[in-house]
Structures are given as C-alpha cells and as structure tokens.
Structure 1
Amino acid sequence: MSDPAKIRFTARLLRPASPKGAAWTFLVLPASASARLPTRSMVSVDGTLEGRRFQATLEPDGQGSHWLKVGKALREAAGAAAGDTVALEIAPPAKEPEPRVPADLRKALAGAPHAREQWSSLTPLARRDWIHWIASAKKAETRDRRVANACSMLASGKRRACCFDRSGLYSKGLSAPEPAS
C-alpha cells in the first residue's frame, strides 16, 4: 500500500534564462501537488526524482505554488535533461534539516554570546527565516546591516526575523526563475 503522506507528480525540467549557460535546471510543482504541502512558503522535503533520492527546500513561486532547483548532479544521476518530464515523489521530512549558516552570520554570532544563545534556542525553520531575510538583501551594505541587526534583535530576545511575506503572494519578492526559451 502506498504512503498517503507522499506526494507524487510529474513536472518538466526547465533551464533558467539567467545566468546564461547555467548547469542547473528547475521545475515548478503542479498546483495540486503544492496544495498538499503544509505551507505556501519555503518547505523542506525528502524525495525522489526518477527514483534518485534528494533532500531540498522548495521555494514559493509567488503564485501559490512551489519550485525546485534541480542541480546538475541530481539531474544527471536521474538520467534527465532540460525539457524532459520527470516523475517525483516528495514528503515533508521526519525531522526538519538544519539550514546552512552563511559565514558572515556565523562569524557575527560567534562574537555575540547573547545572540548566539538565542539563535541556539530557535527551531530550524526559524533559523531558516533569519537566514532568508539576511540573504535576500540586494546590496552588500544592506546585508551587512541585516547581519548586525539580526545579532542585536536576537540578543534582545527576538525570535522571528521580521515581517516579510514568506509565500511571495503579496510582495512578489519570491518567484520561480524565468525559463529560457
């Protein structure tokens, strides 16, 4: 008998329009598959693509669905190419994976014991939101300011990064890449 928590679907692998010559591909989940996920915002999944296991964070596409970046290694292991329709099976993981902490934030937290203590008490999802808020800065000076502000806010007891729209539905700050033609 199949596991009802697993979401099965097919999707077409697309190349991003930029950067030119990108080695990765992406796919947009069908609305029916995305609707079965626990949130419209970023969501971690364990899955298979053409039978090859992967773990990833799906990104919101700003349209109420999600998209998945498919790296070259996974695509090649699955024997797939841009333009192919691939079979996927995904489900939220039993345990939320820890996000990779960027070097600048890691260094700032190392020098701020109260912020580091608060950071350690957060869930992986909350830490991912802080990292996303910092990484979404378009300019280096904005990112530097956000790292400093994050440490200050964490040290003062704040647990949530900010008030950004995690789904991209309202701010349009999140979206799937434009496919190459």
Structure 2
Amino acid sequence: MTQQDTTSQFEEILRRPAQPDGDNLWAFVVLPEFASAKLPRRGRTSIEGSINGHAFQATLEPDGQLSHWLRLNEDLLKTAGLNFGDIARFEIRSVAAEPEPEIPTDLYHALQAAPAARAVWDDTTPLARLDWIHWVTSAKQAKTRQKRIVEACDKLSSGQRRVCCFDPSGFYSKAFCAPKAAD
C-alpha cells in the first residue's frame, strides 16, 4: 500500500471524554470506517495529517471495532482553535515509516536488566516493539502488567520477536475501545 492510498479526509465532532486524565484537557474522535480501512493495520498505527489546516502527528488507538480513535491534546486543540462539540476537518495518512515508540519506564528497566531480551528487542522493527508495548500497557491491573513484562523479557530472551496470540485491534478479545463521551 502506498502512502497516497492511506489518505482520507473527513469531518468529525470533537468529543469530551467522560473520564478525563486528572486536569489534562483533551478531546477525541472515532475515525469513520472508510478512513480507518485505508490504514495499514487495525492495531496502534501512526499517522500524520492536519486538523482544520494545522499539521500534527499522532498514534491512533484501536477501538475494538476494527477502527481507530484519535486523542487530541490541549495544545493541538488550542492551536487549531477548537473545543468540545466543534466539528473539525481532518486529513490523515499513515506515516512513511513508523516512528520509534516510547518505552514505558518499567519495561525499559526490565529490558536493561535482561541483555538477551534487549538484544532481540533492538533487532525487531518499530511495529513489533509497538505491539510488545501495547500488550504490556493494555493490562488492566498492575499485577498483570508486571507479569507481562516478565513474560515479554522471557519470550524476547528466547528469541521470540513478536507478541504471540495478542489481538492488537481488540476485535476478537474486546480488550480495546474508544473512550466513552461525556453527555
């Protein structure tokens, strides 16, 4: 699929999350089915584009319905002059190359303590690393997250380069969904 094949234009209403993160102001949109279908994967995927003509780059999250949702932070909302309930114009496309994902601190420390795991980690693709990170961070409980970090290091140390049996779209496991919108 070429970069041009992934381009979509659409308008969506900016939604306020019912459960925001503390004092952080952010909005979200769920991508229309046609726009999500043009992207290269149903799991986390990075895009670039514009909102009301203002450029941005972001990582889309899977919504568990074979589509994606996009979190818009406060800075981007201010730059684009948008607020909750506004209709925004989007143009998006997948990035030419997936950027290096940010490694959560707990996973980073575990990889540093396991040189064999770190060697395999460093030899995988950014998409494979993104799936490992997504698998770890999608744990609902701290205990499960810690167990997944240990398992990830064990699997990587044994040469396993990809997360096995993990549905990054959330469709089959129903593990992921878009945020609930506030009324």
User: TM exceeds 0.5?
Assistant: yes
Change in CA separation of 1:5 and 1:164 when aligned onto 2, cut-off 3 Å = closer
Matches within 5 A, 1:1-20: 5-19=6-20
Matched, 1:143 2:132: no
Instruction: Tell me, yes or no, if the aligned pair for 2:5 and 2:38 is still in contact at 8 Å.
Output: no
Gaps of 5+ in 2: none
Partner of 2:156: 154
- Offset, 1:8: 1.0
Change in CA separation of 1:109 and 1:179 when aligned onto 2, cut-off 3 Å = same
Partner of 1:70: 72
Instruction: Tell me, yes or no, if the aligned pair for 1:15 and 1:22 is still in contact at 8 Å.
Output: no
Matches within 5 A, 1:23-172: 23-172=25-174
Q: Distance in 2 between matches of 1:108 and 1:78?
A: 39
Q: Distance in 2 between matches of 1:174 and 1:97?
A: 22
- Offset, 1:22: 5.0
Instruction: Tell me, yes or no, if the aligned pair for 1:47 and 1:55 is still in contact at 8 Å.
Output: yes
> Where in structure 1 do 4 or more consecutive aligned residues deviate above 6 Å?
none
Give the 3-state SS of the residue equivalent to 1:94 in structure 2.
coil
Q: Distance in 2 between matches of 1:152 and 1:14?
A: 40
Instruction: Tell me, yes or no, if the aligned pair for 2:134 and 2:168 is still in contact at 8 Å.
Output: no
Q: Distance in 1 between matches of 2:119 and 2:6?
A: 35
The code of the aligned residue for 2:142 comes to A
How many percent identity over aligned positions?
Answer: 51
TM-score between the two structures when normalised by the length of structure 2: 0.92
The code of the aligned residue for 2:120 comes to Q
The code of the aligned residue for 2:19 comes to S
The code of the aligned residue for 2:53 comes to G
The code of the aligned residue for 1:23 comes to L
TM-score between the two structures when normalised by the length of structure 1: 0.93
- Offset, 1:121: 0.5
Change in CA separation of 1:149 and 1:179 when aligned onto 2, cut-off 3 Å = same
Count, aligned residues: 179
The code of the aligned residue for 1:62 comes to G
Gaps of 5+ in 1: none
Q: Please give the root-mean-square deviation of Cα atoms over the aligned residues, in Å.
A: 1.5
Instruction: Tell me, yes or no, if the aligned pair for 1:16 and 1:22 is still in contact at 8 Å.
Output: no
